[in-house]
Amino acid sequence: MYKQTLALLLVGASLAACSSHPENPVDHVTFRHEPLVRQVEDGMTMQKVIAIGGSPSTVVDLPNGGTCNDYILNRDGNQQPYYVRFDATGHVDAKGFKTCKQREEERRNTPGA
């Protein structure tokens, strides 16, 4: 009983920690070995990201002068959108398991984001 309670508390704490970053943790597990997920880091140049992940499926111009690249990850028949956002200088400032459009809508709807 103690181990089950402890396990539930750990799961709850993990989910609470992720609440500010509402992405499906299963996506991280499923696609963690994909080069875009594993190798792309904040501050990386757009050229390096494209060398790692190839050409994006779409490129979106952002209001702040930056751009956002949409990719579709494929693993074992599962497809998952993944975005890499670049600031006005062409360096990665965000990435995650959603589309650029979803990320921008989330940003607009979240105060202080």
Spans of all domains in the chain: 21-109
User: Tokens in use for 107?
Assistant: 């940003």
Residues in CB range of 16: below 8 A, 6 or more apart: none
Q: Which of 3-7, 36-40, 66-70, 105-109 has the lowest mean pLDDT?
A: 3-7
Whole-number mean pLDDT of the chain? 83
pLDDT of the residue at 47:
97
Residue type, 12: G
Mean pLDDT of 10-32: 60
For residues 106 and 100, give the distance between their C-alpha atoms in angstroms, rounded to a whole number. Answer: 10
Dump pLDDT digits (tens) for 62-79. 988 999 999 999 988 889
Mean pLDDT of 53-59: 96
Number of other residues whose CB lies within 10 A of the CB of residue 44: 19
CA angle 94, 97, 101 (to 5 degrees): 75
Dump pLDDT digits (tens) for 29-51. 889 889 999 999 999 999 999 99
Q: Where are the beta strands (DSSP E) in 1-113?
A: 58-61, 67-75, 78-86, 92-96
Q: What is the dihedral of CA 103, 104, 109, 110, to 10 degrees?
A: 60
21-109: CATH topology is: Beta-lactamase Inhibitory Protein; Chain:B, domain 1 (3.30.1450)
